[in-house]
Structure 1
Amino acid sequence: MITEWTTKLRYLPYENWPAEQIADIKKNIANSHWRLGYHIQPSTGLMNDPNGFSYFNNQWHLFYQSFPYGPVHGLKNWTHLTSNDLVNWQDHGPILLPGDAQDSHGAYSGSGIVVDDKLFLMYTGNVRDKDWVRHPKQDGAWLDKNNQLQKIATPLIDQVKPGFTDHFRDPQIIEHDGQYYCLIGARKKDDTGHVLVYQAPKVTGPWSYKAELKFTDEPMGYMIECPNLVFIDNKPVLIFCPQGISQDVLKHQNIYPNAYVVGEGFDWDKFEFINPSTIKNLDEGFDIYATQAFNAPDGRVLSISWIGLPDTTYPSDVEGWAHCYSLVKELKLIGGRLYQQPVVENNQLVEATIDSKEIAPQTKISATISGLEGTIVITTEEDEEIKIIIDAPNGKILVDRTKAGIPFATDFGTTRGFEMAGEINQVDLYLDNTVFELYVNNGELVFTGRIFPKGKKFFAESDLPIAKQRLKKIY
């Protein structure tokens, strides 16, 4: 296994890698007890941002940014996934490959939109010159009904807007009243984060700058990544990642937060939120970032998140793979707050009720706890534990992974807590071996995190009334 990742290795063309590199990683993965049962995970190497989430040709499509040769950021491709039900995903392998003039050093994040009988993909092409100066390009590609991809050789947006740096990426493409718009995360030369909006009559262009998205008067740190604008009950919701945002603007505990803002309305001419809310955390847990959401044709607003963080080392790195995705969630607005709920299709994962203290690595634990105080503890045979401490009447909850296995990201703490405005009445915990998703009050609050226990057996105990269900292992 490679332990010293030089720039040359990270950007080595795919055809120059020996076949043994992938084979060695697969051997490690075959012996790993940290792999997941029903969360999307990489076949090898790094899984980064979710991209191109869409519904096309009677299937759900998703792409993951991938560096298949190791658990590091290198020469990235888009790897293609399809599903009939948002739960069982088929991995078709890398499809959007880097190496052409417009994406010579990587296919970075982007989105997808259906146009006639094809899926159009818009993404950032990472281009470096001989002096290693970055020249980001916003590129396009077409996917047909046979899952054949054709890249567009000429960049759709070739230059960074004057006054901005080379941190100019992650286009989200949307359509309104016959016009196409793309939102791009950007860093200004004064080190402030912004979302820039471009407009075109067709997805292939010509694209021209329209405006800066106006959604807050607060400073948004030094860079905004992964902007996603969706509409729930006709209200705009922006999901984004403000790097370097002040704690005075958004209290957060992770290295970088994934945030959202809701407006009462939207001005399409000015690209401006009407009466925007304060900025809130999308997830109060440990490991959520780069969430991608879209307005699906069935009327739902769906999202999926990267369970991983930039600039963070994870224990599975030593096995040659890193990260995974959340369950697909449906987004709703209730009382002005964003609710996230696992899509109803996840109900098919339930296999059986568990009556014993020992639980499966893939287990759902539910508790109706109105008026109660108590703790849910998941342990292993190695005396590891993750604790969920709940004071339901006062709306307080604390998730503690201090003793949950091999420590990581400890500079940012090993507990996460939140005090809600009202009472807690329901919690649902989805455990999948080394990842957990905790949904409070049917998704009013979500805590997501990774754990890397040495133990292989799990046990659940609580002084609260809990119900346990074994879930399918589909991967």
Structure 2
Amino acid sequence: MNKIIYKNKMEFQKFETYTYVEDKHVSYLKQLEDFVQKSSFLPHYHLYPKTGLMNDPNGLAYFNKQYQFFYQWFPLEPHHGMKHWGHYKSSDLVHWEDKKIALIPDEEYEKNGCYSGNSIEKDGLLYLFYTANYKTPQGKIPKQAVAIMDKVGVIQKSKKNPIIDGAPEGMSGEIRDPFVFKRDGSYYMLLGAKDEHEVGQLLLYTSQDLIDWVYQGIISLPIDKGYMLECPSLIQVEGKDVLIVSVMGLEKEETRYQNQFSTIYLVGKLDISNKVFYEEYSDEVDSGFDFYASQAFYGKNNVPMMVAWFGCGQQELPSDKDMWKHGLTMPYELKLKQNRLTHFVASELLEQFKKKQSFHNEKITTKSNTYHLSFEVCNHKDEMSIKFGYLKDYWELKFDFNRDHISVDRSNLDIPVDVQNGKIRKTKGLNKNRYQVDVFVDNSFVEIFINEGEKSFAFRAFNMTTQHHDVIFGWEAIGEIAYYQAVGF
């Protein structure tokens, strides 16, 4: 029998880790959803779980004239449990319809969860690829599966699942996160993996029909692959291949790889025949505390885009007590700038920040907890900082022009956030004396972009009231502030 915990007149049930949602849970989930809506930390323009824990974005697509955003989800509790797929859809990236659960792990081959994957359209159908998590006392047996969604929205798992069963020679049972793409008339699948020597690898499969897959081998990558590669994405941006991978086990550096896990991009060319990625430039995608497992996809009019999990690893957050955890980043449009991948807020969402107000002051006070602040930082002195919050409860954005470093410091927050993984995140600057800075605050979600996404920081900060922030520059700053106007969902 489930253990019941009483809090604020809401009865919280306790579940076994590998519990999947059934009809008997519907009433409880509705109560839980009502409870979550009372949380003071909820965002307005970031997608979040209506209950429980959200992590990796999955199956991102522009299909049937709508954006389809799927995501890993444990609906019953705010921690990593049995993974389902949730589903939001939107025609404009602003107004979202919650389609609830898309995939329930109720088949034997996926008895430990429906894990991450991507989607691809074929013959008017959207093929949703995912890892069927299957554990045994001897270890994992990797299995890949597919479900197919029609234009009405009906999703059916393939009767031929698992479409890939087991590991190639030399690989461990840690193989996951299929990313399928089409090139030169054939379909290809990338899979993140760990080999028998505890080294991360990127595997390649091919197919003609998206069902029968043939193993091709390991793709050679010119980067440190840690002990595991996850969540690969491949997308073309301005005629070049961009490969994005999430890496476990990278050694921390002063200005890179400071999170528990890191997400890396490579710009160049994937040579499928020789299974080599030729790199022209690579870097960490984001330098904040809460960015991982990103997925690239083509949006409306074939615009290259990306969304990431607004989280990283195992974390305890203040929102846990409100029975929800994590979210997704804003949708980004991808561009190249001197071979550097940039990501900035999708234009549809950016347009919702209206009633812009100019300022020229050392301090401003915002009028709400959902705003976009835009300003320039010029090299007036070697070190410059901007504080966001209140006298004894603030986070800080810092520019060290002497050392060419940019950092975010959460040391002075009244509510500590994930302090065991550090309070400061730092990245190497762009060797410039002037930066364009865009700060998006969405209650407890913060995203900062330097020079429209040449550098970025995504992170959580729980120092928001329903009224305002004080923003203290320490110099006569010139900029604009705009507030989010639309009702998202």
Q: What's the TM-score, normalizing by structure 1? A: 0.92
Please tell me whether the aligned partners of residues 250 and 280 of structure 1 are also in contact (alpha carbons under 8 angstroms). no
1:211 aligns with 2:209: no
Hey, what does 2:9 align to over in structure 1? none
1:410 aligns with 2:419: yes
Please tell me whether the aligned partners of residues 369 and 425 of structure 1 are also in contact (alpha carbons under 8 angstroms). yes
Large movers: runs of 4+ above 6 Å: 5-8
1:289 aligns with 2:292: yes
Q: What's the TM-score, normalizing by structure 2? A: 0.89
**In structure 1, C-alpha distance between the alignment counterparts of 2:191 and 2:302, rounded to whole Å:** 25
Please tell me whether the aligned partners of residues 114 and 132 of structure 2 are also in contact (alpha carbons under 8 angstroms). yes
1:271 aligns with 2:271: no
> 1:399: Cα distance to partner?
1.5
Identity of aligned residues (%): 30
Equivalent position amino acid for 1:233 in 2:
E
1:360 aligns to what SS in structure 2? Answer: coil
Alignment partner for residue 461 of structure 1, among 472, 475, 489? 472
**In structure 2, C-alpha distance between the alignment counterparts of 1:173 and 1:338, rounded to whole Å:** 21
User: What is the 5 A alignment of 1:182-197?
Assistant: 182-197=189-204
1:284 aligns to what SS in structure 2? Answer: coil
**In structure 2, C-alpha distance between the alignment counterparts of 1:224 and 1:7, rounded to whole Å:** 32
Equivalent position amino acid for 2:236 in 1:
F
Aligned length in residues: 468
Hey, what does 1:363 align to over in structure 2? 371
Equivalent position amino acid for 2:420 in 1:
D
**In structure 2, C-alpha distance between the alignment counterparts of 1:301 and 1:249, rounded to whole Å:** 31
2:165 aligns to what SS in structure 1? Answer: coil
Equivalent position amino acid for 2:418 in 1:
A
Instruction: Give a deviation string over 1:194-232, Cα, whole Å, max 9, x none.
Output: 110101111111x1111212221x441110010111121
Please tell me whether the aligned partners of residues 242 and 257 of structure 1 are also in contact (alpha carbons under 8 angstroms). yes
Relative to structure 1, is the Cα distance of residues 89 and 12 closer, same or farther in structure 2, using a 3 angstrom cutoff? same
Hey, what does 2:441 align to over in structure 1? 431
Equivalent position amino acid for 1:148 in 2:
V
> 1:234: Cα distance to partner?
2.3
Equivalent position amino acid for 2:374 in 1:
S
Equivalent position amino acid for 2:416 in 1:
P
Alignment partner for residue 137 of structure 1, among 143, 146, 162? 143
**In structure 2, C-alpha distance between the alignment counterparts of 1:60 and 1:136, rounded to whole Å:** 29
Please tell me whether the aligned partners of residues 369 and 465 of structure 1 are also in contact (alpha carbons under 8 angstroms). no
Please tell me whether the aligned partners of residues 25 and 319 of structure 1 are also in contact (alpha carbons under 8 angstroms). no
Hey, what does 1:31 align to over in structure 2? 38
2:39 aligns to what SS in structure 1? Answer: coil
1:78 aligns with 2:88: no
Please tell me whether the aligned partners of residues 370 and 393 of structure 1 are also in contact (alpha carbons under 8 angstroms). no
**In structure 2, C-alpha distance between the alignment counterparts of 1:17 and 1:312, rounded to whole Å:** 29
Hey, what does 1:225 align to over in structure 2? 230
1:470 aligns with 2:483: yes
Instruction: Give a deviation string over 1:334-380, Cα, whole Å, max 9, x none.
Output: 11111111111123321323576233110110002344454322214
> 1:69: Cα distance to partner?
0.3
Instruction: Give a deviation string over 1:403-425, Cα, whole Å, max 9, x none.
Output: 23421221222122233232132
Equivalent position amino acid for 2:200 in 1:
G
**In structure 1, C-alpha distance between the alignment counterparts of 2:75 and 2:272, rounded to whole Å:** 40
Hey, what does 2:304 align to over in structure 1? 301
Structure 2 unaligned runs (5+)?
A: 7-11
Equivalent position amino acid for 1:330 in 2:
E
**In structure 1, C-alpha distance between the alignment counterparts of 2:221 and 2:300, rounded to whole Å:** 26
Relative to structure 1, is the Cα distance of residues 299 and 145 closer, same or farther in structure 2, using a 3 angstrom cutoff? closer
2:356 aligns to what SS in structure 1? Answer: strand
Please tell me whether the aligned partners of residues 392 and 425 of structure 1 are also in contact (alpha carbons under 8 angstroms). no
Instruction: Give a deviation string over 1:253-273, Cα, whole Å, max 9, x none.
Output: 11111111222x332212312
1:431 aligns to what SS in structure 2? Answer: strand
Relative to structure 1, is the Cα distance of residues 36 and 54 closer, same or farther in structure 2, using a 3 angstrom cutoff? same
Relative to structure 1, is the Cα distance of residues 2 and 125 closer, same or farther in structure 2, using a 3 angstrom cutoff? farther
**In structure 1, C-alpha distance between the alignment counterparts of 2:133 and 2:38, rounded to whole Å:** 34
**In structure 2, C-alpha distance between the alignment counterparts of 1:44 and 1:115, rounded to whole Å:** 33
Alignment partner for residue 319 of structure 1, among 313, 317, 322? 322
Relative to structure 1, is the Cα distance of residues 350 and 121 closer, same or farther in structure 2, using a 3 angstrom cutoff? same
**Larger fraction in strand:** 2
> 1:296: Cα distance to partner?
3.9
**In structure 1, C-alpha distance between the alignment counterparts of 2:410 and 2:71, rounded to whole Å:** 27
**In structure 1, C-alpha distance between the alignment counterparts of 2:20 and 2:229, rounded to whole Å:** 29
User: What is the 5 A alignment of 1:355-394?
Assistant: 357-372=365-380, 374-380=384-390, 383-391=392-400
> 1:297: Cα distance to partner?
6.0
**In structure 1, C-alpha distance between the alignment counterparts of 2:337 and 2:294, rounded to whole Å:** 20
Equivalent position amino acid for 2:438 in 1:
D
Please tell me whether the aligned partners of residues 235 and 266 of structure 1 are also in contact (alpha carbons under 8 angstroms). no
2:277 aligns to what SS in structure 1? Answer: strand
**In structure 2, C-alpha distance between the alignment counterparts of 1:227 and 1:289, rounded to whole Å:** 11
**In structure 2, C-alpha distance between the alignment counterparts of 1:34 and 1:44, rounded to whole Å:** 13
> 1:456: Cα distance to partner?
4.0
Equivalent position amino acid for 1:386 in 2:
W
Instruction: Give a deviation string over 1:231-279, Cα, whole Å, max 9, x none.
Output: 212222111111002347993111111111222x3322123122443x4
1:51 aligns with 2:58: yes
2:206 aligns to what SS in structure 1? Answer: strand
**In structure 1, C-alpha distance between the alignment counterparts of 2:119 and 2:283, rounded to whole Å:** 26
Please tell me whether the aligned partners of residues 99 and 105 of structure 1 are also in contact (alpha carbons under 8 angstroms). no
Q: Which moved more, 1:27-36 or 1:13-22?
A: 13-22
1:312 aligns to what SS in structure 2? Answer: coil
Hey, what does 1:447 align to over in structure 2? 457
Equivalent position amino acid for 2:36 in 1:
I
Instruction: Give a deviation string over 1:155-180, Cα, whole Å, max 9, x none.
Output: 11011112211111000000011111
Structure 1 unaligned runs (5+)?
A: none
**In structure 1, C-alpha distance between the alignment counterparts of 2:46 and 2:419, rounded to whole Å:** 24
> 1:450: Cα distance to partner?
0.5
**In structure 2, C-alpha distance between the alignment counterparts of 1:159 and 1:395, rounded to whole Å:** 47
Please tell me whether the aligned partners of residues 226 and 292 of structure 1 are also in contact (alpha carbons under 8 angstroms). yes
